[in-house]
Amino acid sequence: MREFMHYITNAFYGATGWSEDNSYKDLNATSRELIDFPLPRGLRLTLSSLATPHFGTSYQLGSVGVVDGSISYLYSTVPLAAVPAQSDEIPLAALLRSYRRLQELGSRERQWFWSTGEPTVPVPPRTPDNDKSSLLYGRLYLPQSLLEGLVVKRFSSELQVQVSAVSEQSLRNGGTVLGLVQYDKGKYGIEGLASTDGGLLGVRGLYNFGGDAKRNSKSSQKSEAQIAAEKEGIYGRFSAGGELYYGTLNKSGGMSLGMRFATLPTHRGTPLTATVTVNPLMGNINTSYAVMARDYCSLATRMEFNVYSYESDWAVGMELWSDRRPAGFLLGADPTLQLEIESQPVTKIEPRPEPPRPKERSFQAKMEWRLDEPEPEPQPAAESIKSVEGSMAENKKEEYLGVLKARLDQNLRVGLLWEGRAKSLIFSLGMGVDLHRLDEPFRSLGLEVQYSS
């Protein structure tokens, strides 16, 4: 489950038309989220609120043996009024969906939530004001007295600067600062970063080709042939990139190269994402494959191999959405839902209106030796109600109520996570199981409850 502040930050990116597709660090985000989803530990309660369109707060209280918590604030210069912030309105997919679909390149009308697939709210018109927007975020952890701060500043539609900082006593020099400059040109994206910790400098970039990238280079108009090509066969985009780091103080570095193929939303077939990353210095090869087999089911596998040490690793992950009521005993007490449930059978019991029979002449008409007046056409009231109900039921079926995520890795460690909405609370219940130690298989257990208004 993404945290509320993360969700709002994503909404900010959506509102300002910033796409995270072109960041090399998110190259394998889909498989990472499907496999390495975090399991909650202990009990954690989060109360959040988007108090004004510009300002959000979040309070978190957790207990893993000891009680701790955090307070966070967020300020955005862009009004986020259109963002559904109430926990009974937040689209679950935006909060929970792991499979990440690419967006069309260069579409200035970007979606609000990359994970929902389709925009849930109308995108506000882009103005030059959006291009100068900024976001401030701060979070204080107690009782560790750890302070996090983040500043995101857009300078133009292509350039964005992020500065994040952590202050804590135990850290060397009392804290670290990371600066990140992101340049997204659509066709390619470049990031440069610098960290005060160890004087780390880094650069990473991603270049897109094939699919819509090729089309964009030639002409912005879709030709008929291209659209036809999209419909048949696999239509997607290739992205290749690399990263390079060097610590100026500790004289160490690192690098990697990566490539991704992902289908685009216009692709009619099964959405899939395949990545391969190579670390030539450490001899590490990592491949992942994620597929959205159905709308309610996503699968991912990942394999790792090290050519120097011959170490290998594999992991599989799964995500299963469900439209059933997640915890029946919890929801059974909800009167509104029960009403809905009861109302449906009632409509079904209603007898269908009989087909209009030819009406008999009225007694008066017979007496007057004349035909009846032509009656006004009967209104298909019942039909229209039925059709509305049907569409509503369809909508209800579309809206999932919960998701089950599972993963399994080489060491036979299983992670199970159920996330869903019950009333207006969003729950996340996770469990880690180690199949190697069957005598005490449960490694961790946790429950997160999130409420926002």
Residues that bind another protein (CB under 8 A): 24-25, 27-28, 146, 148, 150, 164-166, 168, 171, 176-178, 193, 195, 197-198, 200, 202, 204, 243-245, 247, 250, 252-256, 258, 277-279, 281-284, 286, 304, 306, 308-309, 311
CA-to-CA distance for 320 and 4, rounded, in angstroms? 22
Q: Supply the minimum distance, in Å, between the C-beta of residue 150 and another protein.
A: 8
Q: Supply the minimum distance, in Å, between the C-beta of residue 10 and another protein.
A: 16
Q: Supply the minimum distance, in Å, between the C-beta of residue 178 and another protein.
A: 4
* CB closer to another protein out of 311 and 350: 311
* CB closer to another protein out of 181 and 406: 181
Nearest to 15 by CA among 117, 115, 116, 110: 110
CA-to-CA distance for 19 and 186, rounded, in angstroms? 9
Amino acid residing at 224: E
* CB closer to another protein out of 223 and 312: 312
Q: Supply the minimum distance, in Å, between the C-beta of residue 282 and another protein.
A: 4
* CB closer to another protein out of 203 and 416: 203
Q: 420, 426 in Cβ contact below 8 A?
A: yes
Q: Supply the minimum distance, in Å, between the C-beta of residue 132 and another protein.
A: 25
Q: Supply the minimum distance, in Å, between the C-beta of residue 255 and another protein.
A: 6
Q: Supply the minimum distance, in Å, between the C-beta of residue 148 and another protein.
A: 5
* CB closer to another protein out of 249 and 341: 249
Residues 6+ apart with CB under 8 A from 433: 413, 414, 415, 416, 441, 442, 443
- Can you say whether the dihedral through the CA atoms of 412, 281, 188, 191 is positive or negative? positive
**DSSP assignments along 123-170, one per residue:** PPPP-TTGGG-EEEEEEEEETTTEEEEEEEEESSSSEEEEEEEEE-TT
Q: Which two tokens stand for residue 63?
A: 């207990």
CA-to-CA distance for 393 and 385, rounded, in angstroms? 12
Residues 6+ apart with CB under 8 A from 184: 18, 19, 22, 158, 160
Q: Supply the minimum distance, in Å, between the C-beta of residue 51 and another protein.
A: 24
* CB closer to another protein out of 90 and 150: 150
Q: Supply the minimum distance, in Å, between the C-beta of residue 195 and another protein.
A: 6
Distance of CA 68 to the CA centre of its chain: 27
What is the phi/psi pair of residue 423, to 5°? 55, -125
Q: For residue 4, with 0-12 CB atoms within 10 Å meaning exposed, 13-18 middle and 19 or more buried, which class applies?
A: buried
* CB closer to another protein out of 74 and 150: 150
* CB closer to another protein out of 65 and 335: 65
* CB closer to another protein out of 106 and 192: 192
* CB closer to another protein out of 304 and 389: 304
Q: Supply the minimum distance, in Å, between the C-beta of residue 144 and another protein.
A: 11
Residue with tokens 């992020």: 162
CA-to-CA distance for 122 and 102, rounded, in angstroms? 19
Q: Could you tell me the end-to-end alpha-carbon distance of the chain, in angstroms, rounded to an integer?
A: 17
Q: 156, 171 in Cβ contact below 8 A?
A: no
